[in-house]
Structure 1
Amino acid sequence: MRSSLLKRAGFRWFLTGQAISLLGSSMAPIALTFAVLAAEADAGDLGVVLAARMVPLLGLVLVGGVTADRYPRRTVLLAANLGSALTQGAVAAVLLTGRYALHTVASLEFLNGVLAAFTTPALRGVVPQLVDRDQLRQANAMLGSIRNATKILGPSLAGVIVVTTGSGTALALDALTYLLAALCLARLPLTGTLPKPRSVTVWTDIRDGWSEFRRIRWVWIGTASFCVINLVQTGTWQILGPTLTKQLSGETTWGFMLSARGIGLLAASTLLYRLTITHLLRLGQLASTLTALPLLALGTRADTPWLITAALISGLGMSITGIAWETSLHEHVPGHVLSRVASYNDLLSYLTIPMGQLSVAPLTHAMGGYRLAAIAGAVSATAAVTPLASTTVRRLRAHGHTQTNTPSQSARDLRIRKRSAGPP
């Protein structure tokens, strides 16, 4: 199956472009962090720079979803990648010339966030246009392997480049990866989108996307689960993880935990490439409970071997969850609304991350770090398993297994297709 996927020129170019782009994107946060710190800027500068990218990404992702459904996704991706090459190249130029200024870097990162808001929904709608439906799981598993490998390689490579030649060079390489990715994307044999009547506005498309998002029960149930998981897990892991690990078993254990999680991510994506699973979404929800294990291990003051083992298993769960979710979206959400549904999924899933990050400090002060980690892990695991109470989530079948739509559901699908296509 791997060879048949790679024989498809379009998917081969897409995979190559993603590998190049993701490698650069995994280097950028490390390089940017060290650049701000090296400039001896105010401690709040880094938060401002990171927030400057996140705010437009969350604020415009719905517009990005509409754009990706309205226009050819290849065109959207080409424009966004070329724009990102320019803005990230400008950041690199500022740093290489030693002219760091908060307002300049933050403004450029704001533009990067705007472009990312259009890139993300378009990317999530591309894969079903490049491969057959029975190859979606394998395609997503292969892309997951590439993504997970860059998460391991990119930060290490960025660290070496920053130490040897500086942050500006690392960001210049990131800009180059956007340009190379654009060249790969230009080779994609993607077809156009359905024509839109001129009377349909962006707001109408956003509203239709919301209607479709609410209609597909398993999508909004899963999104609500991810919303809670991100609220309690992401900030706690990022902020308390290194601190509690250092207190329990020393600074080096945190590095071992991150490496173990990376190994788990890669192992799971390789495994899912080879397995045929009937209820893929059900497996993904079960696997998402495993991501709570490191916090539970920290909260119970587990010994070093258990901490590393928990991180490894959480990596397995994280990768399985991601691949299962992406494949389910690709197989069961109509292509003409896929980017809009995915944009609502992104927005509602990630919106709670800043809230969780901001709440860690006061909650730690109120109840203590170990107790907070244990509670966050328990809530995360509960939120992960709760969607399985829905028969829609439990019974959703992967492509290739019979699943009959109800007459009302088929009628709704037909109405949505007609509305999106416009009058004949």
Structure 2
Amino acid sequence: MKAAATHPATSLTPLRVAAFRRFVLANLVSTTGSAMAPLALAYAVIGQGGGAGSLGVVLATNSVPTIVFTVAGGVLADRLSRSRILFLGNLLSAAAQATLAVLVATHHATTVSIAACGFVSGIAVAFTAPAATGVVGQLVAAEHLQQANALVRLPNNAVKVLGPVVGGVIVAVGGPAWALSWDAFTFLVAALLLLGLRLDAPVTTASALADLRAGWAGFRARTWLWTYTAAGTVVVAAWLAGFQLLGPVVATEHYSGARSWGLVQGAFAFGLLAGTVVCLRWRPHRLLTVAVITGSGLCLPPAALGTGLDLPWVLLGAVLAGIGLDVAIVAWNTALQQHVPQAELGRLSSFNGVGERVAIPLGYLVTALAAHAWDDRTVLLVCAGAIAATTILNLCVRDVYRVNRVRACRDALDGAPGG
């Protein structure tokens, strides 16, 4: 990687780097549309006569390409300009959402056409996600990576609190086509902003297949990386099954239904935002240990729902889970960026991403099977127990305690001008 050509002056804090501000703004703009998209998509399917089955097909079609193509995206992220990949990915997403908006507005949308647009969007995500992980490290010095990762997530989490509400109003007043059009427009604006980054491409001499093999070897050689990925697959699967899938069902049966579940979702979103603020102030030394421990907070909401605690306790569990999850994400991204060379970051982050994305169908499938044997609350408790047990097992890996914050860069810069 041409570090000298793509890296800013290392003494600058993230928000003083113009390229980083551009990257954050692009993420913020696209998130304002993406936060509304799930609701608009659901009502687009319902509006053309589809039900739960049709929506399931659409969601599956969107998630499959992110599993299949993420590794390819990781290879390209280590071979091509990451800023160009992000530009093209956002442009592709804009085209897919614009096409979908036109189909819905003209009443020509079908389950097949909606799924096809979702498939294209899924491909875009598969190629942009690994590139985005590496871009932060190219724009910001190593000692500022945690702050940079938190700053990227701060406006995104704030939008996630308000986005679904605003999206609901837009869909109710104007229909899903307007929300989908806004999503397409935000992707286009983000693409134009990302076009201005102009990060250099790495110098590569090996073939793409050789790069893939080298990336897999590097992934396997780092015990902390593949064990965290394996643990994350279990944790994400249990979380999706215990919170996203069974949570609304239990809220309907034992609480006040949609109102209670809306409060729980809001509490979780507030926790994510609070977790980002924590990361702006707290700089733990043991990055990976913190990521593992704080991620275990995801067991709290399913445990509270499973044991039948009153709603205030469920809300508290959701807030704590949100705080823990965001701290875990920021700590993990910082550890990955500091301990994996830039030349390998796209591939290794893509292997980690595949593990977490596989958890989506895995969690739903296991829950569907378990629902035939146990009642919903028992399944919730099993999911909470799986998260806790996986955390304990991951903490038994010695390398977890060796992946700590890199301080050498800061020490070397103490005497530098502006450092």
TM-score when normalising by structure 1: 0.91
1:53 has 2:59 as partner = no
Residue aligning to 1:372:
379
CA RMSD of aligned residues (A): 1.7
Q: CA deviation at 1:358?
A: 2.2
Residue aligning to 1:409:
none
Which of 223, 230, 235 is matched with 1:229 structurally? 235
Residue aligning to 1:83:
92
CA shift digits 1:226-275 (9 cap, x unpaired)? 01112222122112101112322212221111111111111111111112
1:261 has 2:298 as partner = no
Which of 198, 212, 224 is matched with 2:218 structurally? 212
Is 1:278–1:397's contact at 8 Å kept on the other side of the alignment? yes
1:31 has 2:40 as partner = yes
1:319 has 2:320 as partner = no
Is 1:125–1:335's contact at 8 Å kept on the other side of the alignment? yes
Q: CA deviation at 1:276?
A: 2.2
Is 1:248–1:303's contact at 8 Å kept on the other side of the alignment? no
Is 1:278–1:401's contact at 8 Å kept on the other side of the alignment? no
Unpaired runs of 5+ residues, structure 2, are 1-9, 410-419
Matches within 5 A, 1:410-421: none
Residue aligning to 1:70:
79
Secondary structure at 2:35's aligned position in 1? Answer: helix
Residue type at the aligned position of 1:93: V
Residue aligning to 1:144:
153
Q: CA deviation at 1:71?
A: 0.5
User: Which has the higher mean CA deviation after the structures are superposed, 234-243 or 27-36?
Assistant: 234-243
Residue type at the aligned position of 1:226: G
Is 2:79–2:201's contact at 8 Å kept on the other side of the alignment? no
Is 2:13–2:144's contact at 8 Å kept on the other side of the alignment? no
Residue type at the aligned position of 1:246: T
Which of 280, 283, 289 is matched with 2:296 structurally? 289
Q: CA deviation at 1:32?
A: 0.4
Unpaired runs of 5+ residues, structure 1, are 403-424
User: Which has the higher mean CA deviation after the structures are superposed, 177-186 or 252-261?
Assistant: 252-261
Is 1:194–1:336's contact at 8 Å kept on the other side of the alignment? no
Which of 310, 314, 318 is matched with 2:317 structurally? 310
Is 2:339–2:403's contact at 8 Å kept on the other side of the alignment? no
CA shift digits 1:255-300 (9 cap, x unpaired)? 1111111111111111111122111211111101111001111111
Which of 7, 11, 27 is matched with 1:18 structurally? 27
Whole-angstrom distance in 2 between the partners of 1:284 and 1:385: 13
Residue aligning to 1:301:
308
Whole-angstrom distance in 2 between the partners of 1:118 and 1:69: 11
Whole-angstrom distance in 1 between the partners of 2:370 and 2:284: 41
Is 2:251–2:260's contact at 8 Å kept on the other side of the alignment? yes
Residue aligning to 1:408:
none
Residue aligning to 1:238:
244
Residue aligning to 2:115:
106
Residue type at the aligned position of 1:336: A
Matches within 5 A, 1:170-181: 170-181=179-190
Q: CA deviation at 1:401?
A: 6.0
Whole-angstrom distance in 1 between the partners of 2:215 and 2:277: 33
CA shift digits 1:64-103 (9 cap, x unpaired)? 1111111011111111111111111000000111111222
Residue type at the aligned position of 1:233: W
Q: CA deviation at 1:113?
A: 1.2
Whole-angstrom distance in 1 between the partners of 2:286 and 2:328: 12
Residue aligning to 1:348:
355
Matches within 5 A, 1:179-198: 179-197=188-206
CA shift digits 1:47-68 (9 cap, x unpaired)? 1111111111110111111111
Residue type at the aligned position of 2:245: I
Is 1:72–1:193's contact at 8 Å kept on the other side of the alignment? yes
Is 1:20–1:181's contact at 8 Å kept on the other side of the alignment? yes
Whole-angstrom distance in 2 between the partners of 1:254 and 1:401: 46
Is 1:14–1:184's contact at 8 Å kept on the other side of the alignment? yes
Whole-angstrom distance in 2 between the partners of 1:50 and 1:261: 22
User: Which has the higher mean CA deviation after the structures are superposed, 327-336 or 147-156?
Assistant: 147-156
Identity of aligned residues (%): 35
Is 1:23–1:153's contact at 8 Å kept on the other side of the alignment? no
Secondary structure at 1:99's aligned position in 2? Answer: coil
Matches within 5 A, 1:243-254: 243-251=249-257, 252-254=259-261
Is 2:84–2:198's contact at 8 Å kept on the other side of the alignment? no
Residue type at the aligned position of 1:120: A
Aligned residues: 399
User: Which has the higher mean CA deviation after the structures are superposed, 44-53 or 11-20?
Assistant: 44-53
1:130 has 2:139 as partner = yes
Which of 14, 17, 20 is matched with 1:8 structurally? 17
Is 2:36–2:163's contact at 8 Å kept on the other side of the alignment? yes
Mark the CA change 1:292 to 1:248 in structure 2 (over 3 Å): closer, same or farther. same
Is 1:124–1:342's contact at 8 Å kept on the other side of the alignment? yes
Whole-angstrom distance in 1 between the partners of 2:387 and 2:167: 31
Is 2:86–2:191's contact at 8 Å kept on the other side of the alignment? yes
Residue type at the aligned position of 1:393: V
Q: CA deviation at 1:42?
A: 4.5
Residue type at the aligned position of 1:329: L
Residue aligning to 1:270:
277
Q: CA deviation at 1:41?
A: 2.0
Is 2:45–2:110's contact at 8 Å kept on the other side of the alignment? no
TM-score when normalising by structure 2: 0.92
Is 1:60–1:117's contact at 8 Å kept on the other side of the alignment? yes
CA shift digits 1:136-161 (9 cap, x unpaired)? 00000111212211221221121111
Which of 95, 101, 118 is matched with 2:127 structurally? 118
Secondary structure at 1:125's aligned position in 2? Answer: helix
